[in-house]
Structure 1
Amino acid sequence: MHTFTVAERDVTRAWVAACNKLDSRDNPQRTGLHTVVRIADPLSDDAAFRAELDRLRTGQGLEPLETIASTLFPSALAARCAGPHELAERYRRMYPVLKRYPGNRRGTYFGRLVSYPAASAAGVDQLGTVIDRLRTQAAGTKMAAAYEIDIAAAEDAVQEVGSELLVHAAGKDNSYRGFPCLSHISFQLGRDRRVHAAALYRSHFMFERAYGNYLGLGRLLAYIAEEAGLDCGTLTVVAGHARLDGPITQLRPLLTGTGRLAA
């Protein structure tokens, strides 16, 4: 089994390190199982590097990295809202329209965070609940690990969502591939008042999705920490199955730092 753990300072360094671990001589399939990527500052990345990666992605017909990041956290909408509860309410109103876009038929990741499938028509606002719990704990006795967002949960577990963020919905998400690959996001509150996050993916395509997912998860973590009156900590991403997809010959100059991507 090919596996690895990398720990880097920012999104760019972490993504490059993970891709290089997958692109090794003893791993001709460029895949890994139970891989771990830890990012110390998930709000930081190299803008020039991201632009180069986006240029190659555009040539392959893929959507911009910002579009992927926004499926996990809609930064522009959040900036226009007074707080997480208004953000959730406005997103829920937009959600039926967003689901009409190609690829969104089963929803978006952020949609699952603010409108998790449940008995109520509006769904469960997990985001606001987790922020409220963190804010309350930060003001009193701190519990380190009681803050989860699942993107995957059984129907009878929905009432316990206050301790986790769910994405995958049992009985609804039955496809072998596609949305949602992200299953669960767990938050830990340190004694230094920093909030750390760990995200679990069943699979992760490094070229197609991972960089944008790292950006979105980092912004989600920072938003939750800020709204709870806390500081942003580290982001850890675990993938059950990771794959270095995409045009590897064109990617390698960027991964090795030997030059710009080929046009």
Structure 2
Amino acid sequence: MISTVEDPCAAEDPQVRSAVDEVLTGGRRNGVRIQSVDTVAGTIFPAEMYADTGLAYGLGLGPEELGKLDASAADLYASYTEMLPILTTDTANKSGTYFGRMVSWPGRTGGGINQIADRITRLRRSRDTNRAQRNLEDIAVGGEAELLADCAGLQVYAASDRRERGFPCLVHVDLTLYEGRLSMAATYRHQYLVTKAYGNLLGLSRLLGFLAQHSGFEVGELMVNATFADAEQGTYTKQGVADLLAAARDGS
């Protein structure tokens, strides 16, 4: 299943958000752990921890403003990695978190490779040289990645890896620069369409906005490829899923 968001940083549709929030009551339902939209989104980009300066990278940015912009990112990375030891005490986070793997690979503790900072540095080089097209940036999330200085990321899976569900469902994020716009493609091996999909889209959109802001490019499209899309009818029933879709479409 492939989903495309043409304007990832546009305001949310309150009708759709309300319909999703209505069914995502915290706790467990039929053995499935239910989390709020913001909790799911925060696993990909913890927006509540980011002090947005309102500044964006560009050749006209003065040293003081650039310092503020860079400090806002550095504070986010530091605050999150300090929290990692606590976050990983949760059974669901025993292998790390998505954002943790992005800012401190492999994501269980601080001090790992910061893929986000590295990608921003590379993208800024393109911005500084007026390079409007580039497809050399990716962010490894799943598998065992060898993140080398001259390689954006190589994911290697063991032949015995037969996991279909569980962390990480999100395995790869690819960044493409085209005509001065930064777009993102994310691959999920398993996507829960009711309990996770909206939060995942929101988190990825916020991450893309952050990357664009700190590299000086306009925001392009977001594309999500779910190799297995789960409508969760076993959790919410076929009629429950239909009711959710109706509420999102017409507010009934």
TM class, shorter-length:
0.7 to 0.9
The equivalences for 1:46-61 within 5 A come to 46-58=13-25, 60=29
- The verdict on how the C-alpha distance between 1:219 and 1:241 changes in structure 2, with shifts beyond 3 A counting, is same
SS in 1 for 2:22: helix
Once the two structures are TM-superposed, the CA of residue 258 in structure 1 deviates from its matched residue by 5.2
Once the two structures are TM-superposed, the CA of residue 215 in structure 1 deviates from its matched residue by 0.4
C-alpha RMSD over aligned residues? 2.6
Q: Percent identity?
A: 32
CA distance in 1, matches of 2:162, 2:38: 26
TM-score (norm 2): 0.78
CA distance in 1, matches of 2:225, 2:97: 20
1:109-137, Cα deviation, whole Å (9 max, x unpaired): 0000001129x971100000001111111
CA distance in 1, matches of 2:44, 2:136: 21
Larger RCO (alpha carbons 8 Å, 6+ apart)? 2
Q: Greater shift after overlay, 94-103 or 83-92?
A: 83-92
Partner of 2:197: 210
Once the two structures are TM-superposed, the CA of residue 169 in structure 1 deviates from its matched residue by 7.3
The equivalences for 1:70-219 within 5 A come to 70-79=42-51, 82-117=71-106, 122-140=111-129, 142=131, 143-155=133-145, 157-160=146-149, 163-164=152-153, 170=157, 174=161, 176=163, 177-191=165-179, 193-219=180-206
Once the two structures are TM-superposed, the CA of residue 94 in structure 1 deviates from its matched residue by 1.1
Residue identity in the other structure for 1:36: I
Unpaired runs of at least 5, structure 2: 53-69
TM-score (norm 1): 0.75
Aligned match for 1:242, one of 209, 221, 229:
229
SS in 2 for 1:58: coil
SS in 2 for 1:235: strand
1:39-61, Cα deviation, whole Å (9 max, x unpaired): 10122321232122111121746
State the aligned residue count: 220
Residue identity in the other structure for 1:103: A
Once the two structures are TM-superposed, the CA of residue 174 in structure 1 deviates from its matched residue by 4.9
Q: Greater shift after overlay, 40-49 or 67-76?
A: 40-49
